[in-house]
Amino acid sequence: MSQAEKPNIVFFDTTLRDGEQSPGVTLSVQEKLDIARQLSRMGINVLEAGFPVASEGDFRAVQAIAKNIGPLTEGRKEGVPMTICGLARAVNSDIKRCFDAIEPAPRKRIHTFLATSDIHLKYKLKISREQCIERAVAAVKYARSLCEDVEFSPEDAGRSEKEFLCTVLAAVIEAGATTLNIPDTVGYNTPEEYAAIMKHLIQNTPGSDKVIWSTHCHNDLGLATANTLAGVVAGARQVEVTINGIGERAGNTAFEEVCMALYTHPTLFPVGIKHIDPSQIYRVSKMVSNLTGMSVQSNKAIVGANAFAHESGIHQDGVLKHQETYEIIRPEVVGVPSNSLVLGKHSGRNALRTHLEKLGVSHLTEEEFQSVFERFKKIADSKRQVMDEDLMALLDDQTSQSGLEHFRLVNVQVFTTCGTSATATVRIQTLASADPPTYETHEDAATAPGAVDAIFSALHRQITLEHHMVGYDVHGVTGGSDALGAVTVKLVNSKDGTPNPKSPTIPSQPNGFIERTLQGARIFKGQATDPDVLLAGAKAYINALNRIALDKAMNISSELDKSGP
Ligand code: KIV
Ligand code: ZN
């Protein structure tokens, strides 16, 4: 088959559903909209936007994505919008709720699933194989009565008996399923094994030519990408992926890895990626790691900080002589910034706009651009060299702050007495009334052993919202003493979990541990960057508080919706 004749692989992105099931991750509706917009721009075909029956918040997010992102074609090479998909158990009430959420999208899909492995049937569902077939068929028929595009997943297919799988899948094809997804739910399979399952099912399921076969691989053995590619060679034409490979436990197949494997080996695979814009990869990876608070390990393929770094002298010498000696992908192909000096305090609007376009950011409104420009100027004043990484951090900062303004930071002053104590005075504004927005100014001071602790304590004294801190993370965006400091603060609403009696403090344990001890409690993240790391911390704290306040306001309004006429 010539390159031109190859079908494009269908990328089904589940960052906002399976990805959001990562421990400790919760995204606001606005954050989900921002990620969805970026995925659309990159060319993703199907977006699994959430699990609408799971919560009111999930329903609203899926509906908002269906309505606002569903129709978009901007940046999409094929000119057609993404299909917006929702997940539903094989239960009519779930399926109906799912359809109501995706309804506004021009292209929509219901994804329904039911376990098929003996271990799940016996211990989890407590049903027989016959009952399993009946339920699967009924669910698919009902979904098809609502929507033309229906995907069915036999959960734990990787450990299900192949002949039984063929029987279930033949029955759901008959019932109207249009895509069959084969999940290795627990990340158990090896590439050979997964390919053999896929091949067997395609060859032995009656009606298999009427549907698209799909992969869904978890990464418990670190084999998710290898299994996915093996599945493609065996006949799958859709791959289910997440950005940065986030997801349940060890995560899912990483989009960027599959995409770049197909890009790097165009003749090895029976599918193409002509519909994808790989230059958006780095940007979307950064956005997802910032908004989820899940940092990317530095040696992660394609998007890790070291993915294009050459440390040894021999390698550096080789790359300088000829890039391809040690680089199989040019960093700019995936939109990785060059790390060169880009702009300074004399750079104007045009230079900034042109540079952002080079980084794949061409979609800002005039208002958004103006705000980025003003922040860029402030940074350029205090920092000699503004790097691409700084610009990216600044953009992510802007995204993570959009629309959240119950609290505003006005001023921070800190006095430290060498190693013994620090006193911080913090002035803030709090929203007094929403329409029109009016603010009250407050100021308080606190003393603590360290400056960050003093700032957070001074802030805490002024906020009536009950909350406590479960995570604090700080890193330099670029190297050097003038690097922008990027801070993430994680707060929980005290009503949701056990309050920390010494709140607020900087936890000494790794953030992930604390999140796990508070299972069930929702964690609200705030991020901010600033040349002054103390100020970045105060801003991040305020951003996290704004998320709690917004969540509270939304719950109140949803209660009002329910009691309305
Ligand atoms: O891993 C899994 O089995 C899933 C299904 C819901 C497709 O995520
Ligand atoms: Zn999964």
Render 520-541 in DSSP notation, one character per residue. Answer: TS-EEEEEEEESSHHHHHHHHH
Neighbour tally for 377: CB within 10 Å:
15
Measured between alpha carbons, how far is 334 from 434 in angstroms, rounded to an integer? 43
Mutate to test the pocket of ligand 1, among 18, 22, 172, 213 (most ligand atoms within 8 A of CB): 18
Q: Could you tell me the two tokens for 446?
A: 């606190």
Tokens (6 digits) for 198:
């896929």
Joined tokens for residue 197? 């399952």
For residues 19, 25, 29 and 32, what is the CA-based torsion angle, rounded to 10 degrees?
A: -40
pLDDT at 311: 63
Taken in order 165, 189, 20, 396, the sign of the CA dihedral is negative
**Measuring CA to CA, which residue among 70, 51, 73 is closest to residue 60?**
51
User: Position 100: which residue type?
Assistant: D
Contacts of residue 70, Cβ cutoff 8 Å, sequence gap at least 6: 81, 82, 84, 104, 105, 106, 107, 108
Q: Whose CA is nearest to atom 5 of ligand 1?
A: 155
Nearest C-alpha to atom 6 of ligand 1 is from which residue?
Answer: 113
CA distance 56 to 77: 34
Query: Which ligand 1 atom lies nearest to the CA of residue 218?
Result: 1
Atom of ligand 1 minimally distant from the CA of 113:
6
- Buried b / exposed e over 198-217, threshold 16 CB at 10 Å, is bbebbeebeebeebbbbbbb
Number of H helices, E strands in the chain: 17, 16
Q: Please give the angle made by the CA atoms of 544, 550 and 556, to the nearest 5 degrees.
A: 145
Q: How many Å lie between the centroid of ligand 1 and the Cα of residue 122?
A: 18
Q: What are the pocket residues of ligand 1 if the criterion is a CB atom closer than 6 Å to any ligand atom? A: 18, 113, 153, 155, 181, 183, 185, 216, 218
Q: How far is the CA of 281 from the centre of ligand 2 (A)?
A: 22
- Measured by CA distance, the residue closest to atom 4 of ligand 1 is 185
Q: How far is CA 133 from CA 121, 153, 198, 423, in A?
A: 11, 12, 20, 67
Q: Which of 284, 247, 359 is nearest to 40 (CA)?
A: 284
Res 479: pLDDT: 60
Render pLDDT for 296-322 as a digit per residue (tens, 0 to 9): 988 999 999 888 876 666 776 777 777
Structure tokens at 58: 């999930």
Ligand 1 mean position, distance from CA 9 (Å): 20
Q: How far is CA 207 from CA 50, 168, 180, 217, 402, in A?
A: 29, 12, 11, 24, 48
The whole-angstrom separation of Cα 355 and Cα 307 is 23
pLDDT of amino acid 556: 54
Tokens of 220: 């418990």
Residue nearest (by alpha carbon) to ligand 1 atom 8? 18
SS3 label, residue 215: strand
Burial class (CB in 10 A: 0-12, 13-18, 19+), 250: middle
How far lies 36's CA from each of 68, 163, 181, 280, 437, in Å?
Answer: 10, 38, 22, 13, 29
Q: Enumerate residues with CB within 5 Å of ligand 2 (an ion).
A: 18
CA of 240 to the centre of ligand 1 (A): 10
| Residue 489 CB neighbour total at 10 angstroms | 30
Other C-beta atoms lying within 10 Å of the C-beta of residue 270? 14
Q: Which atom of ligand 1 is nearest to the CA of 155?
A: 3
From residue 123, how far is each of 115, 117, 119, 344 by CA, in Å? 11, 10, 6, 63
Residue with the smallest CA separation from ligand 1 atom 1 is 185
Instruction: For residue 497, report the distance from its CA to the centre of ligand 1, in Å.
Output: 28
Whole-model pTM: value is: 0.75
Mutate to test the pocket of ligand 1, among 153, 214, 249 (most ligand atoms within 8 A of CB): 153
Calculate how far, in angstroms, residue 470's C-alpha sits from the geometric centre of ligand 1: 29
User: Best substitution site from 89, 113, 220 to test ligand 1's pocket, by max atoms within 8 Å of Cβ?
Assistant: 113
Residue 323 is classified by DSSP as G
Helices 29-42, 281-292: axis angle to 10 degrees equals: 170
Residue 368 burial (C-beta neighbours within 10 Å; 0-12, 13-18, 19+): middle
> How far lies 199's CA from each of 192, 213, 342, in Å?
10, 10, 50
Q: Residue 252 in contact with residue 241, Cβ under 8 Å?
A: yes
Query: Do residues 296 and 285 touch, judged by C-beta distance below 8 A?
Result: yes
| Strand, coil or helix: 360 | coil
CA-based nearest residue to 355, from 375, 324, 376: 376
CA of 298 to the centre of ligand 1 (A): 28
Cβ contact 82:45 at 8 Å: yes
471: CB partners within 8 A, 6+ apart:
293, 488, 489, 490, 507, 511, 514, 515, 523, 525
Distance 183 CA to ligand 1 centre (A): 6
Q: Identify the pLDDT of residue 381.
A: 79
Instruction: Report, as ranges of residue numbers, the positions in the chain whose pLDDT lies below 70.
Output: 310-313, 316, 337-342, 384-385, 397-404, 419, 478-481, 494-522, 551, 553-565
